[in-house]
Amino acid sequence: MITIDMTMPLHIINILLLAVILNIILYRPIRNILEQRQEKISSLNSDIDKFEKNRQQRLEEFERKLQDARGKAKAEFDALKSATQSESNEKLAALRSEVESAKAGQLKEIESQFAAARKDLQGQVSAFGEAMAAKVLGRAL
């Protein structure tokens, strides 16, 4: 059983005094350290958020610039391709017209040679016909 005597208030005072001393010596510094640690953690978390936002902005800017560069490159490629195609078409048309004119010239030359050969052969055919008729008939016509 608990007996209440003079030692009881002394023990209560001793416990309260011990609580005050422990609070001053041990608990307050630990709480201050925990508060500082919490502040440091929250500061680091805010820095992490800032860096994450900065990273995201830079990534978006990089993607945007990359898309712009791709668009410009495609437009330039298409323009060069179109210019090359039109230049190729012009050269091809010039070559075709040159070939057509050469073909027409050669065709005219062949036709004139053909006409000359026909005229020459016509003359030879009539001479050959007269010679055959003379041989068959045995007399000159």
CB contact at 8 A, 141 and 130: yes
Residue 71 has what pLDDT?
A: 96
Domain regions of the chain by residue span: 22-102
CB contact at 8 A, 140 and 134: yes
Residue 128 has what pLDDT?
A: 84
Give the residue ranges of the chain where pLDDT is below 70.
1-2, 140-141
Residue 110 has what pLDDT?
A: 93
Model confidence, pTM: 0.47
| Length, in residues, of the chain | 141
